[in-house]
């Protein structure tokens, strides 16, 4: 796909102007002062990354900012989550905007002057921490949108919920977290939005380009464990026991037929992959047990349930055929991230006006997962990708999200901030 550089010229902010609901409303832009604030927020957060459920400093920065804007602010939801409520001066709908705050246990290898040197505890060890997925940009863009919209509160139609979410990358072992816990703790109970919108920065696209997709966008993500139990015996006398290694290898092979032969892959793609195979301590001892672990990804919740059932049956029956047994545990993770088609269509004119139609592309299905999916199961949701790779670089070869070399062109911050703002302003009158 050919990518075109989007203009990053600063334009005067129109915060004091009333909103006109014409058939083609004007694009609202931010001024250089607010853009610079967004950049500075991003750099500060990038330099001080925090792991999931430990976003204490970031949450404090966000909460202080929202309070300074006069919002109703709730903190410590789902451990460190922050929610700001901005009630406009004119009646209208409620719309939610979401940004995630957590970083990753990755050592930063970029040469930016604000590179992270932070560390944190992960699985009992001290590890380097980096915003290797761009959540620092998400937070900064939403803080910028909050400031702009609060500055025109009297002219604002309806209510805006600003969700700053912890633990999108997954809560630490033994803890709950993220979008699911925010909802569990009542996020949408007192103020329930009509729609929720989110942006994720994306290294696989040129700065300022927007990837969208109606319907399924990102896969569900689930983890499974299989314990194959046999009977220990000497390697020279395999008939003296039950070999769980052979049974496990047969399970691995037979599980591959679930996607290729047992579910309708014309409806939605699916992946079942093994990532861990552990068993045995010595070359001439057949062990009692083999441990298998893997991941399931797919784009249809019905097919997801089928895979769960067939994985369990296949493992158990295959093990039984060898005289072994298999205990299967499936840990449900994130559901499929589904964009509401009507909401995408409703906000498309706004998106086109903000970034230019030539900078919008239909995104491919992504087998990565996002817990934005939990919000979109409660209310109509729209999640888009925002390109952050400089135009002089090929996005296909740019370091990916989660890479220690992950780099974001800060020109994208203006685009994301203006998208949030314009979506909110246009939503009440959008067809």
Q: Per-domain residue ranges for the chain?
A: 32-218+336-429, 220-334
Which has the minimum average pLDDT: 16-20, 97-101, 315-319?
16-20
pLDDT digits (tens, 9 = 90+) for 294-331: 999 999 999 999 999 999 999 999 999 999 999 999 99
Among 50, 108, 410, 418, the one annotated catalytic? 410
Given a cut of 90, whether residue 11 has pLDDT beyond it is: no
> What percent of the chain has a predicted confidence (pLDDT) above 70?
94
pLDDT digits (tens, 9 = 90+) for 386-420: 999 999 999 999 999 999 999 999 999 999 999 99
The correct CATH number of 220-334 out of 3.30.70.360, 3.10.129.10, 3.30.470.20, 3.30.70.2740 is 3.30.70.360
> What percent of the chain has a predicted confidence (pLDDT) above 90?
94
Contacts of 128 (CB under 8 A, 6+ apart): 105, 106, 107, 108, 116, 117, 118, 119
Mean pLDDT value across residues 235-263: 97
pLDDT digits (tens, 9 = 90+) for 119-155: 999 999 999 999 999 999 999 999 999 999 999 999 9
Q: Which segments within 156-209 are labelled E, that is strand?
A: 157-165, 195-206
Q: Which segments within 207-303 are labelled E, that is strand?
A: 210-212, 215-218, 220-229, 233-234, 270-279, 285-286, 289-298
Cα 113 to Cα 230: distance, rounded to the nearest angstrom: 56
Given a cut of 50, whether residue 206 has pLDDT beyond it is: yes
Cα 249 to Cα 247: distance, rounded to the nearest angstrom: 5
Active site residue 410: yes
Which helix H or strand E contains 120, and what residues bound it? strand 119-122
Per-residue pLDDT band for 25 (boundaries 50, 70, 90) equals: confident
Cα 142 to Cα 36: distance, rounded to the nearest angstrom: 14
What is the rounded average pLDDT for all residues in the chain?
Answer: 94
- What are the φ/ψ torsions at residue 142 (nearest 5 degrees)? -70, -35
Tokens of 194: 């009509």
Helix axes 135-150, 56-68, angle to 10 degrees: 10
User: Distances in Å between the alpha carbon of 80 and those of 53, 63, 76, 143, 333?
Assistant: 6, 10, 4, 16, 20
Among 3, 212, 334, 427, the one annotated catalytic? 334
SS (H, E, C) 29-76: CCCHHHHHHHHHHHHHHHHCCCCCCCCHHHHHHHHHHHHHCCCEEEEE
Mean pLDDT value across residues 363-390: 98
- Closest to 328 in 3D by CA, of 340, 314, 339: 314
- Residue 299 has a pLDDT of 98
Active site residue 40: no
CA-based R_g, the chain, Å: 24
pLDDT digits (tens, 9 = 90+) for 356-371: 999 999 999 999 999 9
DSSP codes of every residue in 65-107? HHHHTT-EEEEEETTTEEEEEEE-SEEEEEEEEEEE---BS--
Given a cut of 70, whether residue 24 has pLDDT beyond it is: no
SS (H, E, C) 305-358: HHHHHHHHHHHHHHHHHCCCEEEEEEEEEECCEEECHHHHHHHHHHHHHHHCHH
Nearest-10 Cα torsion for 69, 71, 74, 80: -30
Token look-up 């888009």 returns: 384
pLDDT digits (tens, 9 = 90+) for 340-359: 999 999 999 999 999 999 99
Q: Is the dihedral of CA 191, 196, 197, 198 positive or negative?
A: positive
Per-residue pLDDT band for 431 (boundaries 50, 70, 90) equals: confident
Kindly state the DSSP code that residue 127 receives in the 8-state scheme.
E
Mean pLDDT value across residues 41-67: 98
CATH code, residues 32-218+336-429:
3.40.630.10
Cα 258 to Cα 281: distance, rounded to the nearest angstrom: 31
Given a cut of 90, whether residue 193 has pLDDT beyond it is: yes
DSSP codes of every residue in 361-374? EEPPPBSS--THHH
Given a cut of 50, whether residue 27 has pLDDT beyond it is: yes
- Residue 13 has a pLDDT of 36
């Amino acid at each position: 796909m050919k990518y075109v550089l989007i203009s990053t010229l600063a334009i005067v902010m129109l915060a004091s102007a009333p909103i006109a609901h014409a058939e083609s409303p004007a694009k609202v832009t931010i001024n250089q002062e607010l853009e610079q604030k967004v950049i500075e927020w991003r750099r500060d957060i990038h330099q001080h990354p925090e792991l999931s459920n430990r976003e204490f400093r970031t949450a404090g920065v966000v909460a202080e900012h929202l309070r300074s804007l006069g919002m109703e602010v709730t903190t410590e939801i789902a451990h460190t989550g922050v929610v700001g409520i901005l009630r406009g001066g004119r009646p209208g709908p409620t719309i939610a905007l979401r940004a995630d705050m957590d970083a990753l246990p990755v050592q930063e290898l970029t040469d930016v002057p604000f590179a992270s040197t932070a560390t944190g505890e992960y699985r009992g060890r001290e590890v380097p921490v980096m915003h290797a997925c761009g959540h620092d940009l998400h937070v900064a863009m939403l803080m910028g949108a909050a400031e702009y919209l609060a500055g025109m509160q009297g002219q604002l139609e309806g209510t805006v919920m600003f969700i700053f979410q912890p633990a999108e990358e997954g809560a630490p072992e033994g803890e709950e977290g993220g979008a699911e816990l925010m909802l569990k703790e009542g996020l949408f109970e007192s103020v329930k939005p009509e729609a929720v919108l989110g942006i994720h920065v994306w290294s696989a696209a040129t700065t300022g380009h927007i990837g969208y997709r109606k319907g399924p966008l990102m896969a569900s993500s689930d983890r499974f464990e299989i314990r194959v139990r046999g009977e220990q015996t000497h390697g020279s006398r395999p008939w003296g026991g039950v070999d769980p290694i052979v049974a496990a290898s047969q399970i691995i092979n037979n599980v591959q037929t679930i996607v290729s032969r047992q579910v309708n892959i014309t409806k939605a793609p699916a992946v079942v992959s093994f990532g861990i195979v552990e068993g045995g301590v010595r070359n001439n001892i057949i062990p009692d047990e083999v441990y298998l672990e893997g991941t399931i990804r797919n784009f249809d919740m019905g097919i997801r349930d089928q895979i769960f059932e067939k994985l369990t049956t296949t493992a158990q029956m295959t093990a039984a055929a060898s005289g072994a047994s298999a205990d299967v545990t499936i840990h449900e993770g994130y559901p499929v991230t589904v964009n509401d088609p009507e909401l995408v269509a409703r906000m498309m004119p706004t998106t086109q006006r903000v970034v230019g139609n030539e900078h919008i592309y239909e995104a491919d299905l992504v087998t990565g997962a996002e817990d934005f999916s939990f919000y979109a199961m409660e209310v109509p949701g729209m999640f888009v990708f925002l390109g952050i790779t400089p135009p002089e670089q090929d996005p296909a070869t740019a370091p990916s999200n989660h890479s220690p070399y992950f780099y974001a062109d800060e020109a994208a911050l203006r685009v994301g901030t203006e998208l949030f703002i314009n979506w909110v302003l246009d939503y009440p009158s959008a067809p």
